[in-house]
Amino acid sequence: MLGHALADVFVEEDLVLGDLPDYDITNYDDLNLKIDQIKPEVIINAAAYTNVDGCETDKELCLSVNGLAMGNLAAAAKKQQAVLIHYSTDYVFDGDNKDGYAEDEPINPVNAYGVSKAKGEELIRQSGCNFYLIRTAWLYGKYGKNFVDTIIDLSVKQEEIKVVNDQFGNPTYAPDLAKATRQLMIDKKPFGVYHQTNANNCSWYDFALRIKEIKGFEAVITPVSSAEFPRPAKRPNYSILINTKLTPLRSWQEALVEYLKK
């Protein structure tokens, strides 16, 4: 999802696009060899194991892709003196703070996915490479499975859709994040950690209601608590990301309208 959006935004640059099976970030020797051949100035990593519940049952793969592989990428970037751009998640926070989390807040993940992403952050910091670590949240877009499309699909199949109303975050439109990434490079911001999402926050229930309002389907959206909707991975209740360093993006409401009207 994000990879496609980035390719669209950086279309005028000299790009080398890679994905499985040709580029495997968990295989350092092969990855390092290919990066040696390319000699990039910038490495952007949009690869991740994002199945949050799946991470609970396959912790080894989750940690390998989201965590240990970041050591591989960071080492390759440092060797090439390239800038590494990597995306992390709101799920590195425990979600106990109703006001949300700024970039320098201490992390404390509550599920395997968050633990793996936190490990990736740690390895990038320790590597000594020049990096932009961009935390984002609740990503949706044209390619790949996402909450918006799931709600629309369910509206055709079900008369009632139950959505949790006690988890709050920042819905983020992948093309907006991709554009913000390019702007970060154009502005030559200091290396380090950044939070970038669409502006404003909401619950998953509020998000679903807005989708219904725009699409006009008849299925009923019913609020439920997280306790009523048990899942393998615990979710943070308040994983709102506070952006203190970058120009705010447009509201999630405005971005959602654009996505659903296309």
Total domains in the fold of the chain:
1
Residues 6+ apart with CB under 8 A from 67: 115, 116, 117, 118, 119, 120, 123
Q: Which of 49, 87, 91, 113 is catalytic?
A: 113
Which pLDDT tens digit goes with each residue over 153-181?
A: 999 999 999 999 999 999 999 999 999 99
Which residue range forms the structural domain that includes residue 244?
2-146+171-201+240-250
Residue 213: inside a domain? no
The DSSP call for residue 105 is S
Which pLDDT tens digit goes with each residue over 45-104?
A: 999 999 999 999 999 999 999 999 999 999 999 999 999 999 999 999 999 999 999 999
Residue among 165, 187, 177 nearest 241 (CA): 177
CATH number, residue 67 = 3.40.50.720
Residue 161: inside a domain? no
CB atoms within 10 A of CB 85: 21
262, pLDDT greater than 90: no
Residue 132 bears catalytic tag = no
Residue 208: inside a domain? no
Residue 177: inside a domain? yes
Residue 260: inside a domain? no
